Amino acid sequence: MKTKVLLALSASVLFFSACSLAPEYKKPQMQLPAAQKEINVNEEWFKTFNDQKLNLLIAEALKNNDDLKLAVANVQKARAQYDISDADLYPQLDLSGSALRQKRSVNAYPGFFGGLYNDFSMSASMSYEFDFWGKNSNQRDANLANFLAVDANKESLRISLITDVATYYFNLVAVEEQLKIAQESLKNYEESLAYREKQYKYGVIDSLTLAQSKAEAASVRTTIDALNVTKVKIQSSLVILLGRSPKEIFEGFIDTKTELPEFVKIPTTLPTNLLQNRPDVKIAEENLKAKTALIGVAKAAYFPNLSITGSYGFQSQKVSNLANSNSQVWGIGPSLYMPLFDFGRISASVKVTDAEQKAALIEYGKTVKNAYKEVFDSLQSIKAMQSKKESMEQEVAAYDEAYRVAKKKYAIGTTSYLDVLIAQNLLLNSQLAYVTTRSELLIEEATLYKALGGGWRSVKD
């Protein structure tokens, strides 16, 4: 009979422990655009540029960046919180011991026990909370989802860090290239100005022509000054991303190539596995899972909470008698807690978790939509930038030819020197703009890398 009772009790405990008041989680379904093929994430996408200096900077940032270090610490914290909630599903065992020498008051109750005495004890205790309504298991599930979301956030920061370093690097190389062009142009302007000053001295040209030469040279110097300011700001931003010391903001130097790398061929189709690659989508889904599980935690507060505690040990006035059977002490018993009147507190808590779950569902939908928008925008921008780059190449070639023709015509006296200056200025501006366009194309490529969730490499590649 006792065996049947124990079996029935065990079956009841298992049944109620398996009971969960949280809604069943179902992954949200959305109408998504048609995708053409699967694309694997290539975490070292930046190495396709064959730029060792860029590779070293990204490696340094991944090792030393403060935001990434903070993200790693947050992952460790979230994992520990999950481990705590997982441990709550199991009994807690404790061992304790004490040795006490004490004098009691003769005047206190019961007075005849006054005097000195010893008390030695050693015991083991156990406590366990029955998870009848799934409160603890749902809390564990919520903490697991939170841990996975925090880990995905770390991955998101890593991807953003690589993108940011590559972006600043391309901007820095572009500025270096533009400085080289501007300084070469300034050299030509200054040589021309020196020649014009001699012509003006001997009355060959008037003051207007000389003033125009001086103005153009000054304009190029202004451009160089502006580029140097931009260079300093980019370098200081890179120093922060690389996790270097504040001292290096003032003294640091970022070594780069002198020319921008070539554009790398990219996929022009929408990947089928986009949602699996994006950390932000992973974060949104895990947050939705956590909020769903927390509904069960809140609803469990409606029902009784049963726990059991027990202890077994020895207590004696003499150490020699501590292990004696007559020194045994033990105790065991249940504890029951159930809310009666809370004036709607639990119901309000359930409503809060319901609302948070609905908000998380909406946020997931927004994140998925934004993921596809970012990929679409980036693909379209790259397509437009490639066309712009080709047009800029033709523009630079045309202005270069116009400048050569203007110089020839001025040499034979068929055009004014102003026309030469205009042609030279247009060529300089087009050369600088062409460098900017090339860097923007590379930066857009880095943006696509981020939008795809870490890079790309076709399965067939």
Above 50 in pLDDT, residue 1? no
Question: Whole-angstrom Cα distance, residue 195 to residue 124?
Answer: 101
Where does the pLDDT of residue 38 fall: very low under 50, low under 70, confident under 90, or very high at 90 and above? Answer: low
Q: Cα dihedral sign for 358, 360, 365, 370?
A: positive
Residue type at 315 in one-letter notation: Q
The set of residues, in sequence order, having a beta carbon less than 8 Å from that of 125 and lying 6+ positions away, is 93, 94, 95, 96, 309, 310, 311, 312
Phi-psi region of 367 (alpha: psi -120 to 50; beta: other; left: phi over 0): alpha
**CA angle, corner 391, sides to 388 and 395, nearest 5?**
130
Where does the pLDDT of residue 37 fall: very low under 50, low under 70, confident under 90, or very high at 90 and above? Answer: low
Residue type at 356 in one-letter notation: E
- Structure token pair of residue 132: 């009848």
- Residue 318 sits at φ, ψ, to 5 deg, of -125, 140
H helices, E strands: number in the chain: 10, 6
Per the CB < 8 A criterion, the answer to whether 316 and 118 are in contact is no
Where does the pLDDT of residue 120 fall: very low under 50, low under 70, confident under 90, or very high at 90 and above? Answer: confident
Sheet strands (E) in 303-408: 305-316, 328-337
> Cβ of 329: how many Cβ atoms within 10 Å?
13
- DSSP 8-state symbol, 261: P
- DSSP 8-state symbol, 248: H
Residue type at 239 in one-letter notation: V
Q: From 85, 71, 67, select the one nearest 145 (Cα to Cα).
A: 85
Torsion over CA of 62, 67, 71 and 73, rounded to 10 degrees? 100
Across the chain, which distance is largest between two alpha carbons, in Å?
132
Kindly report the pTM of this predicted structure.
0.83
Give SS3 for 286.
helix
Q: In terms of CATH, what superfamily is 18-89+133-303+344-458?
A: Outer membrane efflux proteins (OEP) (1.20.1600.10)
Question: Whole-angstrom Cα distance, residue 456 to residue 289?
Answer: 28
pLDDT score of 114: 58
- In the predicted model, what is the mean pLDDT of residues 354-370? 95
- In the predicted model, what is the mean pLDDT of residues 18-47? 74
Question: Whole-angstrom Cα distance, residue 258 to residue 433?
Answer: 17
Percent of the chain whose pLDDT exceeds 90 = 54
- Structure token pair of residue 379: 């693909």
Q: What is the mean pLDDT of the chain?
A: 86
Question: Whole-angstrom Cα distance, residue 351 to residue 369?
Answer: 27
- Structure token pair of residue 239: 């120093």
Question: Whole-angstrom Cα distance, residue 391 to residue 17?
Answer: 69
- Under CATH, which number does the domain 94-130+306-337 receive? 2.20.200.10
* pLDDT tens digits along 235-292: 999 999 999 888 777 776 677 777 888 877 766 666 666 677 889 999 999 999 999 9
Domain boundaries, the chain: 18-89+133-303+344-458, 94-130+306-337
Sheet strands (E) in 23-91: 39-40
Q: From 447, 458, 435, 443, select the one nearest 174 (Cα to Cα).
A: 435
Above 80 in pLDDT, residue 144? yes
Sheet strands (E) in 75-185: 92-104, 115-129
Torsion over CA of 240, 242, 244 and 246, rounded to 10 degrees? -10
> Is the peptide bond between 304 and the residue preceding it cis, with omega within 30 degrees of 0?
no
